[in-house]
């Protein structure tokens, strides 16, 4: 018996493992907004708007789309999705992003 792929929006704590897609695969894009994934972060970036020149180098390298952009200006981090990987910190040429341990 083959199982069908189900949309990520149908995955929640009420679904049984028998009804998940094979190997738990998610086959559609744009699913990060459906799940709050920032709670396992141990390191955290901090944004300094005064140092930012809006070069946008940090935006495309963020693997979790955690750097919102409004009208061509980068905004503060979306911490509901940021996992604290530090890639944005590494690419920032102006020091507008710092990176350190998250305080609990």
Question: In this structure, are 56 and 82 located in the same domain?
Answer: yes
Cα-flanking dihedrals φ and ψ of residue 99, to 5°? Answer: -145, 130
Percent of the chain beyond pLDDT 70?
Answer: 90
What is the per-residue pLDDT across 54-65, written as a single tens digit (0 to 9) for each? 999 999 999 888
Residue 42: count other Cβ atoms within 10 Å of its Cβ: 9
Question: In this structure, are 44 and 78 located in the same domain?
Answer: yes
CA distances from 77 to 1, 66, 94 (A): 44, 6, 17
Segment among 6-15, 26-35, 41-50 with least mean pLDDT: 26-35
Question: In this structure, are 44 and 91 located in the same domain?
Answer: yes
Cβ-Cβ contacts under 8 Å for 29 (sequence gap 6 or more)? none
- Examine the pLDDT at 30 and tell me if it is beyond 70: no
CATH of residue 66: 3.30.70.20
Residue 35: count other Cβ atoms within 10 Å of its Cβ: 13
Three-state DSSP class for residue 91: helix
């Amino acid at each position: 018996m083959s199982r069908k792929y189900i949309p990520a929006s149908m995955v929640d704590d009420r679904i049984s493992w028998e009804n998940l897609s094979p190997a738990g695969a998610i086959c559609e894009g744009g699913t990060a907004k459906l799940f709050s994934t920032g709670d396992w972060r141990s390191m955290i970036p901090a944004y300094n708007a005064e140092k930012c020149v809006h070069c946008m180098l940090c935006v495309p390298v963020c693997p979790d789309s955690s750097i919102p952009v409004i009208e061509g200006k980068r905004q503060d981090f979306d911490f509901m999705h940021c996992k604290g990987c530090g890639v944005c910190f590494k690419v920032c040429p102006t020091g507008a992003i710092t990176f350190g341990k998250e305080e609990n």
